[in-house]
Structure 1
Amino acid sequence: MIELRTPTEIDEMRPAGAFVASVLQATAAAAKVGVNLLALDKLAHDMIRRAGAESCYIDYHPSFGASPFGKVLCTSVNDAVLHGLPRDYVLRDGDLLSLDFAASVDGWVTDSAISVVVGTPRDEDLRLIDTTTRALDAGIAAAQPGGRLGDISAAIAAVALADGLSINTDFGGHGVGRTMHGDPHIPNNGRAGRGLPLKPGLVIAIEPWFLHTTDKIFTDPDGWTLRSADGSRGAHMEHTVAITEAGPVVLTARS
């Protein structure tokens, strides 16, 4: 069911958005060569405790997950692009790391993701991150009242296709509010002018993710981490966005 939020409710979601943004900023800053992924998860977990927030991941067990997630932060490295289950892995120079985080504050949930290079970057990784960032920006700009859901999908796809990337539509954006994942599903490819009307009060997570040379993925033996079929690297960007009478408002904006 798709729920529309009042302006008051959208304001009530702002603390959750600011908290999620702060955790991503802190974990991205801490992602240095020699740092263990489990340490990043612990940092996020400690911030949740101090804020009195609640994790959306630790008990999360959807149909595609092998078991409850058990951690509070997704850490996807190199050929992993989504749902990376934190493990005993020490970050190396040149790793491409995607961090995805959602939490509930006072009963409201927001969701966001960021990709960064650890240490010395590869040019192709920086280009992939740039493309994914621009695709997110395009999707947000298209989230206008009076538009259609397909406008967001088409805007994301236009950026990716212009840079020669292929697009997987199995996983994408989604509604967010009292829970982390809700309707509508927002694929990263679609036709402008088609789909659900975009009305003020709709709150959605917009999340483009792309791989260098494929759109095919498989699930790691850990039962969660999604990896590229050909070993190429991936990038993932996401913001929680409220559609208002005045246009889109990014609730998880990072300073």
Structure 2
Amino acid sequence: MTEPGGRSVGLDAQERSVGVAEPLPGGRGRRIVSFARTDARLQPKDARAIERYGSAHLLDVDRAEARTSVAPSARLDAGAVFGRVAPLVVEIGCGSGDAVVAAAEAHPDWNVLGVEVYRPGLWDMLRKVGSRGLDNVRLLEADAVPVCETWLPEGSVRELWTFFPDPWPKKRHHKRRLVSPAFARLAARVIEPGGLWRLATDWSDYGEQMREVLDGSSEFVNVHGGSGGSGYDAVGAGAAPRFEGRPLTRFERRGIAEGREILDLTYRRV
């Protein structure tokens, strides 16, 4: 998981490799991405986790060019991957997997997919999932855009979770924020009719942007009502109660300690 603006947490500067664009298939230039990939070298504990649990939980997909890309022809066959047909819950940018683990433990009848680009977080999540024997979890190292654009089948997701995406707080970086009209269309593509998109942020202007994007979409309706617009009060009409399925993480505690209000939103696919 990264802090605002893509800064890595707890890594020596020499271990960082940050990029803000990914090559497009066929050499068609580069696409701005919503994340700064900030990775450390593989540690022995990570190698052990991959050896013990990787074959059961890590998904291998055909790539385009970048490490986090997904080949346009690749598709998820959830029945084959999970060994059963069940409601699919997908978390985008799941960090070290606290929400994924909580969901899988509380709802063994769900198939839970965690999508993450930050490898140390992915390995932490793999250890948690594997050590707990959570057979209903699969993990994917990939960018959310191709995952939702082509890899996930249309209408295949019961709930999509986007908790504390990188806020890119500097105005010139707002174009890198994940929740945008373009991504909302991709989310609408994969969420089943009546399914939910749950979001959370501790940056008030990003919360306003989320509301403006989703209130402006004809494909989503705010479960808790309210109207969008600037100057929106994070604790006012339209905000969802805190989602009980989202464990309180150290990043959320840090935001609260710094005086930022936590905004939860829930939208239904219509």
| TM-score using structure 1 length | 0.26
Higher strand share: 1
- TM-score, length basis structure 2: 0.25
Larger radius of gyration: 2
Q: Which is richer in helix? A: 2
Q: Tell which has more relative contact order, 1 or 2 (C-alpha 8 A, sep 6+).
A: 1
